Amino acid sequence: MMQQIVERAKTLVAGKMKVVETVEEWDLLLEEIRGIDEWVQMSRYYTPSEKLDFTWSNPEEDISIKQPVVPPVQITPVIEQRYAYTFVRELKGGSLREWPNSHISETEIRQWNLEHGMEIRVQVVHQDVRRTTLEVMAVVATDRMKPLSERIVFEKCIVKNHGIIESTVEGPLKDETGKSFYYATPVEDMRFFHLKEGQLVDLVMWKGRPETLTIAWKYAFQYQEPTVQLLETSNNSTAPVPPSVETANARSIVKKSGRYLKQMKRKPKLKQERKTRRIREKKSQPLTPLVTTSVPGQPIDFVDKKPLDFAPFEGMRLVIVGNEQQAPVYRTFFEKTGIELIHLSGDAQSAKKIASLAKKTDAIVVVTSRVSHAASAHVIAQAKKHDIPFAMERLDGRRSLYTACQRQLEKARLNQLKTGKS
């Protein structure tokens, strides 16, 4: 019995020695040999010794003795060696259609300008249990190349402060429907790509799936806004002076002269007379109590449930700070109204993003019970700096929050009508 087990173990080890080519496969072989050794030792322990005296036994019981189970040999899949393979474009990177668990990096794709459907030649760079990393050697054929319409690319997007991406070099970010949007880079991607303000990146996503939006590539150079330089004037006094230079010189002269005259006309301000204090008279009619929407002990059916009207504020931008647990609920509510909602969490780090969003923000609402003191102070300072209507809402209920948002948007709309800005 033991002789058969030893022969079987030798066969297993000899078969596995033939497929060993790399160091990783050698480590796997050693682990499998240890497993085979344990199996031999267990079989040796449970197999009856030949030196023991044989006793009478029932032949039916001898038939029922189970033989040790031999583990099946694991056969590794063999990849068919081909002259060329078909390239498949993924969201980030790519793979080969005929080679499972293969991977081609984004750097290789951009160096060779690979497109979906190309026939390429590759070689193995690194291989492990999870995937096989390949390197492109040559492009064989481009007959089956076709554009991948499901993959949408936003090229050369400008990274602003705190990872906010709102525009590209050519203009603002727009989705398939032409609506502008922004992308807040996660902290993990900020650390992985070492993103800083002013750098350029490429954003990719699958069509119709905005949750797949991510960064695929970072450019080595930074974006610099184009500057207009004036032409240098020659020393010749008779040469014509450009009109832009003339207007600039005239403006500087007017500013200097105006500043000098204002200083010369300064006079000491006379102390204003103290106004007499007006004494309010008591009202003859008693004040009527306010009628509230609910009374203590009154059923909930009598509470005011009239829907709020957000139609006049379509296209305006609203920022809500705090209570990030209710962010999906707020986003679902304001999507139907046409108002662009930006929700920031209540910590100080996230509240700093308001500095880059304040110029295009119309109203701000802060849930004071769900934000830190530092975050609320930073948001209030930015709102006062840019003259943005804001409200500090103590309650985190939906009705009270939506009412506060409606009031601040109404204030912002009135300011726009007064100033004439849209």
Highest mean pLDDT among 102-111, 310-319, 346-355: 102-111
Q: Which residues contact 330 (CB under 8 A, 6 or more apart)?
A: 320, 341, 343, 401
Average pLDDT (187-210) is: 92
What's the chain's average pLDDT? 80
d(CA 16, CA 26): 10
pLDDT for res 290: 47
Mean pLDDT for the stretch of residues 7-28? 78
Find out whether 185 and 167 touch, Cβ atoms under 8 Å.
Answer: no
From 23-32, 46-55, 192-201, 411-420, the region with the lowest mean pLDDT: 46-55
Percent residues over pLDDT 90 in the chain = 33
Residue 245 confidence (pLDDT) above 60: no
* Sequential DSSP letters for 3-42: HHHHHHHHHHHHHHHTT--SHHHHHHHHHHHHHHHHHHHH
Compute the average pLDDT of residues 359-378.
90
- The predicted model gives 408-422 an average pLDDT of 85
Query: pLDDT value at position 120?
Result: 94
Q: Please state, in angstroms and rounded to a whole number, the distance separating the CA atoms of residues 309 and 311.
A: 6
Residue 186, C-beta contacts closer than 8 angstroms, at least 6 positions apart: 163
Q: How confident is the model at residue 281, as a pLDDT?
A: 74
The answer to whether residue 201 scores a pLDDT higher than 90 is yes
CA atoms within 13 A on the CB side of 124: 11
Burial (CB count within 10 angstroms: exposed 0-12, middle 13-18, buried 19+), residue 151: middle
Distance CA 367, CA 323 (A): 7
Higher confidence at residue 285 or residue 169? 169
Does residue 115 contact residue 59 with C-beta atoms inside 8 Å? no
Identify the sign of the CA torsion 208, 212, 216, 221: positive
Residue with tokens 């398939």: 176
What is the Cα–Cα distance from 285 to 288, expressed in whole angstroms? Answer: 9
The percentage of residues in the chain with a pLDDT greater than 70, rounded to a whole number, is: 75
Q: Which two tokens stand for residue 409?
A: 């948007």
What is the mean predicted confidence (pLDDT) over 310-328? 89
What would the pLDDT profile of 129-163 be if each residue is shown by its tens digit? Answer: 889 999 999 999 998 888 888 999 999 999 998 89
CA angle 347, 352, 358 (to 5 degrees): 130
Burial class (CB in 10 A: 0-12, 13-18, 19+), 368: middle
Tokens linked to 303: 């509470």
Q: What pLDDT is attached to residue 324?
A: 87
Q: What Å distances lie between residue 24 and 28, 73, 126, 129, CA to CA?
A: 6, 18, 11, 9
pLDDT at 272 over 60: yes
